[in-house]
Chains A and B, each alone.
Chain A
């Protein structure tokens, strides 16, 4: 059972470039989340989804877009990358939502230079 899989693990972007961070889960979870974690800090919610076709903004959505066409996949799109987006990005999923355990991927370390 792979759980939550994120790709790539590392990426360096130039300012203004775009990229998509991939996240897929094989647990048939309805809820999926994208967080970013700056060095030594807690996690900030970027976007979340409660099911296929439904997404909503979190605490820091500016500069990002998401889609949820299937239950399994929840890609995060960065348009016009900026140095402020240098961070570690974590995708997570949970069966329902409130009171449920979040299952995290291993993260994508992104540097924008």
Chain B
């Protein structure tokens, strides 16, 4: 059973389009992170959200943590080819352990 489900699994869009990636769970998380991974490399942290309802912006990327801390979304405005990569959400359970559980991943390709 996958604790964190991401949708969509794959996304191919044209440069300049907007998109939203979702990360959903039935479990509560103390915090949730978003990473981007490029081929042959380890994931790199984009943002951490810790408060229910929190919204964080990183240039053209907007991250939101659900009010109940069970889900999150990543919105990209005016996507660029440099945004291409595998986007991963990761949650730390609210039970007090420090295990980061990763989502299933969303592979994004932005065409020029």
Contact = CB atoms under 8 A, between A and B. Distances in A.
B88 A99 contact: no
Interface residues of B, number: 28
A105 B42 contact: yes
Contact of B101 (A50, A59, A99): A59
Helix, strand, loop or mixed for chain B's interface? strand
Bin chain A's interface residue count.
20 to 34
Contact of B99 (A4, A45, A90, A99): A45
Contacts of A96: 98
Contacts, number: 67
Interface of A: 4, 31, 33, 35, 40-45, 48, 50, 56, 58-59, 90, 92, 94, 96-99, 101-102, 104-107
B99 A48 contact: yes
A42 B99 contact: no
Nearest to A9: B40
30 contacts: A31-B98, A40-B86, A41-B104, A42-B4, A42-B6, A42-B88, A42-B103, A42-B104, A43-B88, A43-B90, A43-B102, A44-B102, A45-B100, A45-B101, A45-B102, A48-B98, A59-B101, A94-B98, A96-B98, A98-B92, A99-B30, A99-B92, A102-B33, A102-B35, A102-B43, A102-B100, A104-B43, A105-B42, A106-B40, A107-B41
A88 B98 CA distance: 22
Interface string B75-112: 00000000000101010100001111111110100000
